[in-house]
Structure 1
């Protein structure tokens, strides 16, 4: 899914555009016991509660694509198996989600099976609330210039959106008692927090239902809960954002070996910066496969003998079929040089100001002081500026 597609669905989770048909939920305690359940038409909720649910549900569609918002594809073998699966069995994950959606959340047995799947596989210490909604979106048509035509519907997008929210005791404190006109110890109660995980099924791709994919949300982009995702959806997870970055860094170090110096890394960074600018208006994050990464290295001046070893290093480090998101592996908005004692951050457009040079037998990092220099907030004079001042005073 793209940012625009996610934003279009997110827009539905507002009072003005709401068409949610039903909301259901299950409150689970720290011992994995079901404490209570809710089932009702969403529009029958009191207005104050409706606004709170909107805030929770919208969070599932918030975040950064490729980090904590991930489009997951169902394996083809799973979908084919689902076509022949026993329709009463919840074992096939893809088929189960389809039946849950098509039930419009009115099948109590399916709901209980869904809650049981989460309770069995979701690892969390404490109480939590499972929420799930059903919605039918009458997708408006669009003109060639992107304007919506409210009276021209292309199709119907029927979906479910679900999330898991921690339920925690409110913090202790004092509160004002208006009737008694005094301050008292606040009564602590159980409060539903924003979601830790959630999903939208099916995905909304090309403004249409894509039953072969779903959008998965994880509050923590480094704890994607692989086992939980595998059991609930049967979909493989990509490497986390930080894991992709670490994998790419190891790949560069292994491939370049002794040739991994500042100049080459600067060239690679510059090439990534160019690609980021070229794809700045693209609706989806730029995904790089093995061949594309190899091309970037070649364009950055990596020697042919090193490129000959690239495929082997990529397969060993990342995996032959692994793709990497450019935004995860390289921050094109900064350029940082770090030693055990020094950290230097350089404008990525001025990496030409730094170079390595051997001085008095020592490897040194040389930085051209171009313009004013500020140290701890204090404007200081460089040697060249001092010389200019002295010359000016001499002329006087």
Structure 2
């Protein structure tokens, strides 16, 4: 799914647009026991509560594509005959009315997801009458291309509040406010089937994880039976390690700066051009950057081999490899953070045999909030 398709489904989770009539779920305690089950009607709920519940579900479709939102493909064999795909289809086709399927899914989640605290498993189903879009992009509300029937799953931590004082206006006095339990934003979840090319795709699901450093491999294996993707944070660390190991002594500040700037430039161009398809790069893209930096063919080949060893032939999202809003230089005792657009202010140099990182300082230099002047030394 691309960002436009995700946004189109996200907009469904509002009371004036949604066709979701009820939400099923269960509350799981620390011992992985179902404390209670519920089938909550949104039609009978007060509007404010209904909006809050839909907002929780909507968060499952938030975050960065490729980092928090990840495509989960099913093989043809899985779609034809597999327990995991059959279960998801049963949830979808029954509009969450198949009791055996719902309870089997709850059990599957509890077996594979074991957080420290309590949590909710939420399931929602909606038949979405997809508006037809003309070639010029115009949406025709009275014309439908198909009905996209889907299930959204959200798994949300339930956190205990701290006791606090509250002010009672009628009594003009302070009283203790009792401990309560609040539903937090989803930690993980998924949309099935995927909404690829604005159409139902039973060969794919869209998986969500709030923490880009955690893919919840056991959950992915239990629900989708596929190889969990490398978490975005791990991709970044692995890419940095590959670059350093492959280039060795040639891994200079200038090379890393150039690769960072190149990837950030691609991300910005993709954003400015409002490209629909997600931005990905191959190892060939990076190899071209390295060659342009003057890296030797032998070291570029070493990068090729190490990339293949860790990522295979998979293309990666540059958003997982660099931080567009941060450029950081770290040492054991010093950390330097620079606006990525002004990384040119930093340079490295060897002076009298000692290695230095130099930062060009112009106006507006402060030390602990105090403005200072840098005087030129007299010769």
Aligned length: 376
- The question of 1:368 aligning with 2:360 is answered yes
> Does 1:232 pair with 2:223?
yes
> Match of 2:332, SS?
coil
State the 1:230 CA deviation.
0.7
Conserved 8 A contact 2:32-2:114 = no
Aligned to 1:248: 239
Distance 1:36 1:269, change over 3 A: closer
Q: Distance in 2 between matches of 1:40 and 1:241?
A: 35
State the match for 1:97 in structure 2: 88
Deviation at 1:171, TM superposition (A): 2.0
Residues 183, 381 of structure 1: alpha-carbon distance in 2 compared, 3 angstrom cutoff: closer
Contact 2:3 2:278 in 1 (8 A): no
- Between the aligned partners of 2:286 and 2:120, the Cα distance in structure 1 is 42
**Is the alpha carbon distance of 1:99 and 1:177 closer, same or farther for their aligned partners in structure 2, counting shifts above 3 Å?**
same
Q: What is residue 267 of structure 1 aligned with on the other side?
A: 258
Deviations 1:288-310 (A, max 9, x none): 23333323322333211212222
Q: CA deviation at 1:2?
A: 1.9
SS of 1:276 mapped into structure 2: helix
Deviation digits for residues 229-260 of structure 1, max 9, x if unmatched? 11012232221111011101111111101111
Partner of 2:348: 356
How much does 1:65 deviate?
1.7
TM-score by length of 1: 0.87
Which residue number in structure 1 is paired with residue 337 of structure 2? Answer: 345
What 5-or-longer segments of structure 2 have no aligned partner? none
- 2:114 paired with 1:123: yes
- The structure with the largest alpha-carbon Rg is 1
Q: Is the 8 A contact 2:25 2:37 kept in 1?
A: yes
Aligned twin of 1:16: 16
Query: Which deviates more, 60-69 or 242-251?
Result: 60-69
1:254/1:61 Cα in 2 relative to 1: closer, same or farther (>3 Å)? same
RMSD between superposed Cα atoms in Å: 2.4
1:131-280 matches, cutoff 5 A: 131-177=122-168, 180-280=171-271
Equivalent pair of 2:345/2:359 in contact (CA under 8 Å): yes
The secondary structure found in structure 2 opposite 1:288 is: coil
Q: Contact 2:122 / 2:155 at 8 angstroms: preserved in 1?
A: yes
Distance 1:301 1:279, change over 3 A: farther
Shift, 1:95, TM fit: 2.0
The aligned counterpart of 2:280 is: 287
Unaligned runs of 5+ in 1: 83-91, 388-396
1:381 paired with 2:369, answer: no
Conserved? CA contact 2:27–2:120, under 8 Å: yes
CA–CA distance in structure 1, aligned partners of residues 3 and 99 of structure 2: 34
For the Cα contact (< 8 Å) 1:72–1:236, is it kept in 2? no
Gap change, CA 1:179 and 1:323, over 3 Å in 2: same
TM score, norm. by length of structure 2: 0.90
